[in-house]
Structure 1
Amino acid sequence: MANLHLKTLKCIETEDWVGNDDPKLAVNGQNILLPSMGGGQKYAIDEYYAFDGEVTITLHEADGLPGDRSDLLGSHTLTEEGSGILNFTKDGANYQLSYTLTRS
């Protein structure tokens, strides 16, 4: 059994050219509610997730326009214990997610 602690998400640069992003973070497909974010903003997530094997974390930006799909900002799969920062930089965005992964 493993535990993932998601600490903070920091928006360095938004994906949207105008206004804030509406980021969507998911852990193994389970969505995490996040606020709208602008450049320089930081959000304390402070959530724990238990899992077996590996964990995949994805970040999308919801465009909110009818018929427009969310933009994938990046995806990371973790298997090893440790702490660090995951960078999500696709589609012109720049987000940093701090985490700790432990195994019991």
Structure 2
Amino acid sequence: MATFQLLGLKCWETTDGFGADQVRIIFGFDDLMFFDNDMGEGDEWELVESRQFLASEKVWVKEADSGSGDDEIGMFVVTSEDQGEHGITLSGDGSHYDLRYRIGP
């Protein structure tokens, strides 16, 4: 068993819509919500959330839209072999976000 720990999220540019994004970070098959908050350009959140998983899990970062379907900012897969701290850039729907996370035992 491994642990996925979310460390931080930085918004450089919101999606193509107007104003702030309602950002949701969803972990794994069971759709466990990590984060659900407004983010505007320049906002940065330090996050200390973690979840355990077995071999691998998907992580989705989405922008919640009230009038239409959610926009996908990005998706990536974490594996138990990827021990250590990592960063990933997400740029779906015209956005630019940097997410930091750690995989541990």
Q: TM-score, normalised by structure 2?
A: 0.89
Q: Secondary structure at the match of 1:36?
A: strand
The residue number in structure 1 matching 2:35 is 33
Letter aligned with residue 41 of structure 1: D
Q: Which runs of 5+ in 1 are unaligned?
A: none
Give the CA deviation at 1:57.
Answer: 0.8
CA distance in 2, matches of 1:73, 1:18: 15
After superposition, residues 24-103 of structure 1 pair within 5 angstroms as 24-28=24-28, 29-65=31-67, 68-79=68-79, 80-103=82-105
CA distance in 1, matches of 2:32, 2:85: 21
Aligned residues: percent identity? 28
Give the CA deviation at 1:71.
Answer: 0.5
Say which structure is richer in strand. 2
| Number of residues of Structure 1 aligned to a counterpart in Structure 2 | 101
Letter aligned with residue 84 of structure 2: G
Give the CA deviation at 1:34.
Answer: 2.5
Give the CA deviation at 1:16.
Answer: 3.8
Q: TM-score, normalised by structure 1?
A: 0.90
Letter aligned with residue 13 of structure 2: E
Runs of 4+ in 1 over 2 A off after TM superposition: none
Q: Report Cα offsets for 1:47-68 as digits up to 9, x if no partner.
A: 1111101121111111112xx1
C-alpha RMSD of the superposition: 1.2
Q: Report Cα offsets for 1:6-55 as digits up to 9, x if no partner.
A: 01111110004421000111010211232201001001221111110112
1:10 matches 2:10: yes
